[in-house]
Amino acid sequence: EADIYQTPRYLVIGTGKKITLECSQTMGHDKMYWYQQDPGMELHLIHYSYGVNSTEKGDLSSESTVSRIRTEHFPLTLESARPSHTSQYLCASSGPTTNEKLFFGSGTQLSVL
Amino acid sequence: AQSVTQPDIHITVSEGASLELRCNYSYGATPYLFWYVQSPGQGLQLLLKYFSGDTLVQGIKGFEAEFKRSQSSFNLRKPSVHWSDAAEYFCAVGARGGGNKLTFGTGTQLKVEL
């Protein structure tokens, strides 16, 4: 059902590298989100966007940045990866109605050595 | 700010047995409430949601949940569990007027014994 895609599925990278996690959706949704998920912990909202050229930081402070140049694309970038960034990153999108359901991608498991 | 507590980290049930997963929320008004399920290697999928009206809501895959304002709870139930229900279940709350930003609980890992 979900038409939201994240790449790569897994990423193992060394400290100090710049990385970009890709997220694309084909549903035409204006609202998109990035959540960070650690084992045994709640999902934390780190970024969200309500449309092109609109980005906001979420509840959890993150050193990552996002951009929204096209409706369907919401990439997340880490300029200099550190071991503390090791986590699962989930991208989601939703339609225009308030508290409409979120469609989630399969996630990117990032490991920084 | 809203918060969600899922007191059970792990639950194991036998196939065919009934299931109840607990969820308590904290929010100053009537919240929007959701249950999502995450299978291994997959993203989260919405099971059901409560916005207003009937406090017993039906979802997909035979799940239901009941909103109890007096107990600040939104427990998920299923009368007969199937082996394919083994997954992690997340309760979430959304603030009215807060856009679609959700606050999630820590999740409950469900194991089903055959």
Contacts of A90 in chain B (CB under 8 A): 43-44
Q: How confident is the model at residue B23 (pLDDT cuts 50, 70, 90)?
A: very high
Q: Inter-chain contact A102–B102, Cβ cutoff 8 Å? A: yes
Amino acid, single-letter form, for residue B7:
P
Percent of chain B clearing pLDDT 90 (strictly above): 76
Task: For A21-74, write each residue's pLDDT tens digit.
Answer: 999 999 999 999 999 999 878 889 999 999 999 999 988 878 899 999 999 999
Does B94 contact chain A (CB < 8 Å)?
A: yes
Q: Inter-chain contact B43–A42, Cβ cutoff 8 Å? A: no
pLDDT of B113: 96
Contacts of A27 in chain B (CB under 8 A): none
Q: What angle do CA A62, A68, A72 make, to 5 degrees?
A: 120
Q: How confident is the model at residue A4 (pLDDT cuts 50, 70, 90)?
A: very high
Q: Inter-chain contact B100–A105, Cβ cutoff 8 Å? A: no
Task: For B33-55, write each residue's pLDDT tens digit.
Answer: 999 999 987 889 999 999 888 89
A2, A43, A99: residue with CB nearest B100: A99
Q: Is the pLDDT of residue A1 over 60?
A: no
List all residues of chain B from 36 to 65 with a beta carbon under 8 Å from chain A: 36, 41-46, 49, 51
pLDDT of A61: 79
pLDDT of A19: 96
Does B106 contact chain A (CB < 8 Å)?
A: yes
CB atoms within 10 A of CB A38: 12
Long-range contacts of range B84-88, CB-CB < 8 Å, 24 or more positions apart?
A: B85/B19, B85/B61, B85/B110, B85/B112, B86/B110, B86/B111, B86/B112, B87/B37, B87/B38, B87/B39, B87/B40, B88/B37, B88/B38
Q: How far apart are CA B58 and CA B13, in angstroms?
A: 21
pLDDT of B94: 87
Does A79 contact chain B (CB < 8 Å)?
A: no
Q: Inter-chain contact A99–B42, Cβ cutoff 8 Å? A: no
Which residue from B minimizes the CA distance to A57? B101
Percent of chain A clearing pLDDT 70 (strictly above): 97
Region B76-88 average pLDDT:
96
pLDDT of A2: 56
B41, B94, B98: residue with CB nearest A106: B41
CA distance A59 to chain B (A): 9
